[in-house]
Amino acid sequence: MLRLPIREALERAGLPFASLEPVRPGASVWRAVGPEGAWSVRWVPRSEAAALAATALWLERLTGAGVVAPRPWRPAGAGAHLLAVGDGVALVTRWRRGTAVLELGWDGARAEALGTLMARTHLAGGGPLPGARRYDAAWARGAWRRLAIERAVPMATADECATVRSGLARAAEVLAAAWHGGPGGPVVMAHADIHAGNVLEVARVGERVELALIDVDRAGLAPVALDLAFALLEHEDANAWALLRGYRRWRPLGDGFERVSGAFRALAMVDNLAFLAAFEHERPYVTAVWPGLVAACAALAAGESGGG
């Protein structure tokens, strides 16, 4: 349904293209290819226009500082990045070339390069942007509601649910404290969805790796520890240490991060499971990971790695 309105919007904006195809079935992201190269066209309903506008400004900051990220396109003479498309708006960015780490797999060099990229992103992203998403206590409560345990994990016991609720309540307190200068901060513009499918390797010479972040649907304001927690969900042991080492080379974390890391990990876990639970084919994975969330929340309720 969006294909024709997007074609018309690109033509009105003066961006020549020869082909326009959806990135994947059902997605609201399109790939336009023309004489000036390839572009990503990301559409959202008008209710999300302010968040997408903030994302465009964030990407402009990043690319202006030399961070490898999708570069936003602004129509000539336009005062804003977004194009009106039907009952929504669209953001056009340069299509990033590279190979998804999902295909390559993580190793120490890639994990360390990701830490470096995250730190540079947090430093270059600057201060809060109006309209940006907010990963705050209200978001944390929403993630628990979206998980809908009775549907996603029908075998979950009442005691397990109580443990998770208690742990997440503690984690939400730590999150709120980080928003007000406590450990886990400061609050920055964050990617908020860093995983192997959203990271491209754009160059590698031996152990020197250059990575790029893509898929900025969820970018918003969050404490730095939350962005790290999202990324660390798929890293353990040596690779986790490599990621943190790469981050700390550019930006200190301090002892406070270690004290609250468990709280942010639990928040990242429940948000990830809430997203996956919406897909029937992901339910077995959600069920398999549920005990890990219960254990993490039990540790928080007992006062371990939660702050204070």
CATH number of 9's domain: 3.30.200.20
Whether residues 118 and 259 share a domain: the answer is yes
Q: What is the pLDDT of residue 256?
A: 86
Domain-located, residue 308:
no
Whole-model pTM? 0.92
Long-range contacts of 207-210 (CB under 8 A, 24+ apart): 207/109, 208/109, 209/109, 209/110, 209/112, 209/113, 210/68, 210/113
- Residue-wise pLDDT tens digits, 218-254: 999 999 999 999 999 999 899 999 999 999 999 999 7
Q: How far is CA 17 from CA 12, 22, 287, in A?
A: 12, 14, 44
Question: In the chain, what percentage of residues exceed pLDDT 70?
Answer: 97
> Do 131 and 53 meet the contact criterion of CB atoms below 8 Å apart?
yes
Q: What is the pLDDT of residue 189?
A: 96
Whether residues 156 and 284 share a domain: the answer is yes
Give the chain's domain count: 2
**Range scoring the smallest mean pLDDT among 6-15, 210-219, 290-299:** 6-15
Domain-located, residue 47:
yes
Whether residues 11 and 53 share a domain: the answer is yes
Whether residues 51 and 184 share a domain: the answer is no
Domain-located, residue 251:
yes
- Residue-wise pLDDT tens digits, 121-151: 999 998 889 999 999 999 999 998 888 888 8
Whether residues 180 and 274 share a domain: the answer is yes
Domain-located, residue 307:
no
Whether residues 31 and 176 share a domain: the answer is no
Q: What is the pLDDT of residue 206?
A: 85
Mean pLDDT over each residue of the chain, to the nearest integer? 92
Instruction: Find the DSSP H helices in the chain.
Output: 3-13, 49-64, 101-104, 108-124, 137-147, 149-152, 158-179, 224-232, 237-250, 254-276, 283-301
On the question of a cis peptide bond just before residue 154, with omega within 30 degrees of 0, the verdict is no
Long-range contacts of 52-56 (CB under 8 A, 24+ apart): 52/82, 52/89, 52/91, 53/80, 53/81, 53/82, 53/89, 53/131, 54/129, 54/130, 54/131, 54/132, 54/133, 54/189, 54/219, 54/220, 55/91, 55/132, 55/216, 55/219, 56/80, 56/81, 56/82, 56/91
Q: Which residues form the domain of 43?
A: 3-95
Domain-located, residue 204:
yes
Whether residues 77 and 134 share a domain: the answer is no
Nearest to 177 by CA among 247, 272, 267, 240: 267
Domain-located, residue 134:
yes
